[in-house]
Structure 1
Amino acid sequence: MSDMAEQRQLWIEEPAKRRRMPDPVRTAAVRAVLISAITLIQAMVAFLCTLADSWLAFPMVLSSVASTVVATWGVLDVWVTRQVWNQRHGVVSVPASTARRLRKERRRARRSARKAPESIRRHGGAGQLTHP
């Protein structure tokens, strides 16, 4: 009996197809989903209160409109957080990229500018007295 239990597995682990979202992006996404769910519940309650001709219909409609604005902000927050994360952490430099080439040229220019005064000092140029 234990032989069959060892052979038969409940699930087979497979590698993830996509990488996990960064923590700040995942936090913003969870917040947006919760806000959107509450907004949908409020809209449904407002609709049902309107059908029932309840006094609560008008306040619920107003709160649904406000919640819709907040839910829109939540979704935009996910998008902005994702963009900021990609900009700060997800930039991959490719050797052929223009920005990398320009940085290399600037680095070479700075190095050559630093080396010029050193060579002048070493060979007895400016700043050295002619009389001992």
Structure 2
Amino acid sequence: MRAVGSDELMSTATRRGPQTPDRAVPAGEQYTMTDEERYEARCRRPLWVEEPARRRRLPDPVRTAAVRAVLIIAVTLIQAVIAFLCTLAGSGLAFPMVLSSVASTVLATWGVLDVWVTRQVWNQRNGVVSVPSSTARVLRRERRTARRQARAVERAQKRIRGQGGTGRLSHP
């Protein structure tokens, strides 16, 4: 699928202008598209054009914590509004709603801190590319070395099993 931009539409319009036999377009005037041509151009245009992301996507654990925090904050705001309206109306539910709003505020604060801590932990474990002294780089190197050693041991075990005399009762 290819995107049809306004530049291409204008070039199409100017390309058709002088070649159209039934229209006399004086030199220096800009050709305007007819309603039918505008409709055709709109039909060819895609619904959206994908653009590259400006920032990298958040890691899954951080995004999960952020969604959780946003939901908690939304519920807290709704409770606060209900508590305010109940207080204005003099309802008996005002006091319990105020108490639950205070509890939700504490929970929302925890949610925001959870996002921050999760992001910090993720950066520390998986590394920040721009920091040369990243602890994650050392951890990755150690894990890579451990995997290589495990594969070497596994290959050696296979070689030893392969050398075992099949059909022999004992080894000389």
- The bucket for the TM-score relative to the shorter chain is 0.5 to 0.7
- Write the deviation string for residues 5-39 of structure 1: whole angstroms up to 9, x where unpaired: 33x12211110010110000000000000000000
RMSD in angstroms over aligned alpha carbons?
A: 2.3
Q: Which has the larger radius of gyration?
A: 2
Which of 75, 93, 111 aligns to 1:56? It is 93
The answer to whether 1:67 aligns with 2:104 is yes
Q: Give the whole-Å Cα distance in 1 for the aligned partners of 2:123 and 2:113.
A: 15
Given candidates 13, 23, 28, the residue that maps to 2:50 is 13
**Equivalent residue for 2:119, pick from 73, 82, 90:** 82
Deviation at 1:82, TM superposition (A): 0.3
Query: What is the alpha-carbon distance in structure 1 between the residues aligned to residue 87 and residue 111 of structure 2?
Result: 27
Tell me the TM-score normalised to structure 1 length. 0.66
**Amino-acid identity (%):** 78
1:37 paired to 2:74: yes
TM-score by length of 2: 0.51
Instruction: Provide the rounded CA distance (Å) in 1 between the counterparts of 2:80 and 2:111.
Output: 17
What CA distance in whole angstroms lies between the structure 2 residues aligned with 1:34 and 1:68? 12
Match of 2:83 among 42, 46, 66: 46
Aligned pairs for 1:110-125 within 5 A: none
Work out the CA distance in 2 between the residues paired with 1:48 and 1:80.
35
Q: Tell me by how many angstroms 1:90 deviates.
A: 2.4
C-alpha separation between the residues in 1 aligned to 2:127 and 2:70? Answer: 24
Q: How many residues align?
A: 97
In structure 2, the partner of 1:23 is: 60
Distance in 2 separating the partners of 1:13 and 1:44: 39
CA deviation map 1:28-81 (0-9, x unaligned): 000000000000000000000000000000000000000000000000000000
Counterpart residue identity of residue 91, structure 2: S
Q: Which runs of 5+ in 2 are unaligned?
A: 1-35, 139-172
